[in-house]
Amino acid sequence: ILNVEQSPQSLHVQEGDSTNFTCSFPSSNFYALHWYRWETAKSPEALFVMTLNGDEKKKGRISATLNTKEGYSYLYIKGSQPEDSATYLCAFYKSYNTDKLIFGTGTRLQVFP
C-alpha cells in the first residue's frame, strides 16, 4: 500500500503570516511529485510538478521544495492572503510504469483577514 501523508490536516493563519506544510511519500522508485490547489466548490488545479531531488519551484508567493532521498516535500506560502485559503494536495507517481497519481488527503488552509 502506498501512503502519501500530509501534515497538518488543517491550518488557520492570519493574513500576512507565512506558513508551510509537508507531504511525505515513499522514497523508493520515485518519479514525480505533484502539488495541487483545491478551492472549495471548485476542482483541483495544478501548482507544481517536481521530479529531481533538490528541486525548488516558485509561483508568486508560493514555493515548494523536494527531497526524494528522505521522501518529503514542503510547500511554503509567504505573506498569506485570504485568497490562499484552499486545500493543498500532493500526489506522486510511484514508478514510471504507473500512470496514476496517488493523492494525499490534503492540508486545508484558512487565512483570516
Partner 1 sequence: DAGVIQSPRHEVTEMGQEVTLRCKPISGHDYLFWYRQTMMRGLELLIYFNNNVPIDDSGMPEDRFSAKMPNASFSTLKIQPSEPRDSAVYFCASSRSELQPQETQYFGPGTRLLVL
What residues line the site for partner 1 (CB under 8 A)? 31-32, 34, 42-46, 49, 51, 89, 93, 96, 98-106
Give residue 106's region: left, alpha or beta (phi > 0; psi -120 to 50): left
- DSSP assignment letter at 101: P
Contacts for 78 with CB less than 8 Å, ≥ 6 apart: 18, 61, 62, 63
Q: Of 14 and 105, which has the nearer Cβ to partner 1?
A: 105
Task: Say if residues 9 and 107 touch (Cβ distance below 8 Å).
Answer: yes
Q: How far is the CB of 97 from partner 1 (least distance, A)?
A: 10
Please report how close the Cβ of residue 113 comes to partner 1 at its closest, in angstroms: 27
- Give how far Cα 9 sits from Cα of 53, 62, 103, Å: 25, 19, 14
Considering beta carbons, is residue 44 or 71 the nearer one to partner 1?
A: 44
- Residue whose CB is less far from partner 1, 31 or 112: 31
**Of 28 and 96, CB closest to partner 1:** 96
CB of 69 to partner 1, least distance (A): 18
SS3 60: coil
Minimum CB separation of residue 83 from partner 1 in Å reads 19
